[in-house]
Structure 1
Amino acid sequence: MKKLNESFAASQVAVGTTATLIVAAAAGRDHVSIQPIGVVTVYVGGPGVTSLTGYPVPVGYALDMETTADIYAVAASATAVAVLAEG
């Protein structure tokens, strides 16, 4: 795992009720952290993710993953905001 000061990037992405690419694939990435802010749970998965098939990440929690793949997310209702950290 990289140290925090090595290739660290943070961002926010709006997530609606259709699958949204929130993190593009990156060969050099070691990890991704996804945390919804606001009041809406975010569901994480592949390009066809839905609120029924995705991994739920409730507000107040974060999902940490070691992956280099694309990551998509969807909100069950309204629009959610996901805070992302990757490195």
Structure 2
Amino acid sequence: MLVLSRRAGESVVIGEDVTITVLEVRGDVIRIGIDAPRSVAVHRAELLEQLETVNREAASPSEDAVQSLSAALRSRPGNHAG
């Protein structure tokens, strides 16, 4: 990991087309601006972690949900199984 010190108004350039600029430093909060092409995805890490958690939970339904779905399928009209 590259670690840099920057002051408000200073920038870091990544590759040829991504620029990160420190806009403001106020206590322990730093505002940054990111200038990147639309083809470059820029996301906050905590949102990606939350999305990953939600997707994992959705892909692994609870036992109650599986039993409920199974019962609903068995009770469908026209279902002649067991």
TM interval, short-chain normalised: under 0.3
Higher relative contact order structure (alpha carbons within 8 Å, sequence separation ≥ 6): 1
TM-score normalised over the length of structure 2: 0.27
More helix by share: 2
TM-score normalised over the length of structure 1: 0.25
More strand by share: 1
Higher radius of gyration, 1 or 2 = 2
